[in-house]
Amino acid sequence: MKKLEQLYEGKAKKVFSTDDPDVVIVDYKDDATAFNGEKKGTIVGKGVVNNRMTNHVFKLIEAEGVPTHLIEELSDRETAVKKVQIVPLEVIVRNVAAGSFSKRMGVEEGRELLCPILEFSYKDDALGDPFINDDYALALGFATQEEIDTIKNYTKKINEILKAYFLQADMKLIDFKIEFGKDSSGKIILADEVSPDTCRLWDVHTNEKLDKDRFRRDLGNVEEAYNEVFKRLGLA
Ligand code: UDP
């Protein structure tokens, strides 16, 4: 499988066409951004960690019956995936209060939530990914009711899989963001990535942050945190 032309360059990945119209190749970069692109930097080796960790996690998720876009890992940074039309929703799950939720709700970071929260943002950088609900998504045609139901069911299952997976590596899954796409037949499948860029992961004993908050908040040891997650998951 060969890269033909670059179709798109995002904040953390480039996407290339291939000779198969239903397959694209994603190439993970070390570039890091935060606060809607206001803060920029490099996290050396991040592309490798995020590519390999995403693929490993997607295989686990697939084995539990949730379809994903993964086809084949091609190299440390490159993966062949099914071409999808991305559903313009950032699907966020929260198990413990943190980040924008803590700010919005006035709840201290680290407070256990009584049940997981599933929320949607409209994926639009110019608008700063505004918080929306099901009715917004339906009324604006982002997804049908059936698609929303599928996305919610898959997301709840993914949360259970990921919580257990990270816990056996001594990490607590605080919250995460995923995205879904529609394949050429219109089927909803998990797309994008699951990595320390998109998950908050805290050490289960010390609550040390092992994710992109180290970059967002200038906590130092950013590369070390990504490598630590990689090592704990047995991927290094
Ligand atoms: N997240 C993400 N991309 C975004 C926004 C959020 O991957 O554009 C992830 C983030 O890493 C965290 C979760 O979604 O694990 C919840 O993020 P939150 O809404 O608290 O926003 P933040 O505080 O990151 O701005």
pLDDT digits (tens, 9 = 90+) for 96-135: 999 999 999 999 999 999 999 999 999 999 999 999 999 9
Convert the pLDDT of each residue in 7-23 to its tens digit. Answer: 999 999 999 999 999 99
Residue 231 domain flag: no
Nearest to 161 by CA among 8, 27, 57: 57
User: Does position 56 have pLDDT exceeding 90, yes or no?
Assistant: yes
Q: Where are the beta strands (DSSP E) in 35-138?
A: 39-42, 70-73, 78-82, 85-86, 89-96, 112-122, 131-132
Asked if pLDDT for residue 1 goes beyond 90, the answer is no
Position 173 scores a pLDDT of 99
Question: Ligand 1 in contact with 209 (CB < 6 A)?
Answer: no
pLDDT digits (tens, 9 = 90+) for 156-204: 999 999 999 999 999 999 999 999 999 999 999 999 999 999 999 999 9
Q: In the listed set 54, 82, 110, which residue is the last one of a domain according to the structure?
A: 82
Q: Which two tokens stand for residue 178?
A: 């995923």
- What is residue 80's predicted lDDT score, i.e. its pLDDT? 98
> 66 and 128 in one domain?
no
Q: 172 lies in a domain?
A: yes
Q: How far is the CA of 198 from the centre of ligand 1 (A)?
A: 6
Give the model's pLDDT for residue 2.
Answer: 94
Q: How confident is the model at residue 34 (pLDDT cuts 50, 70, 90)?
A: very high
Residue ending a domain, choose from 51, 82, 113: 82
**Residues 178 and 139 grouped into a single domain:** yes
What number of CA atoms fall less than 13 Å from residue 97's CA on the CB side?
14
Centre of ligand 1 from the C-alpha of residue 93, in Å? 10
- The DSSP H or E segment spanning 167 is helix 145-167
Is pTM beyond 0.95? Reply is: yes
Question: Distance between the two ends of the chain, CA-based, in angstroms?
Answer: 25
**Mutation test of ligand 1: which of 13, 100, 108, 179 has the most ligand atoms closer than 8 Å to its C-beta?**
100
Tell me, yes or no, whether 188 and 154 share the same domain: yes
Q: Is 202 found in the same domain as 97? A: yes
Q: What is the number of domains present in the chain? A: 2
Judge whether 210 lies within some domain.
yes
Task: Give mean pLDDT, residues 207-228.
Answer: 98
Candidates 11, 108, 118, 175: which one to mutate for ligand 1, based on the most atoms within 8 Å of Cβ? Answer: 175
Same domain, 192 and 166: yes
| Ligand 1 pocket, residue 177 CB under 6 Å | yes
Task: Give the pLDDT of residue 152.
Answer: 99
**What amino acid occupies position 115?**
C
Q: How far is the CA of 54 from the centre of ligand 1 (A)?
A: 17
DSSP 156: H
Same domain, 173 and 92: yes
176 and 91 within one domain: yes
Q: Are residues 199 and 105 in the same domain?
A: yes
Is residue 234 in some structural domain?
Answer: no
> How many residues does this entry show for the chain?
236
- Domain at 200, CATH number: 3.30.470.20
Residues 149 and 214 in one domain: yes
Same domain, 182 and 132: yes
Distance 126 CA to ligand 1 centre (A): 16
Q: Examine the domain organization and report whether 30 and 105 are in the same domain.
A: no
Same domain, residue pair 17 and 50 = yes
| Residue that terminates a domain, selected from 82, 115, 143 | 82
> Tokens for 12?
């953390």
Residues of the domain holding 31: 3-82
Which residue's alpha carbon is nearest to atom 6 within ligand 1? Answer: 177
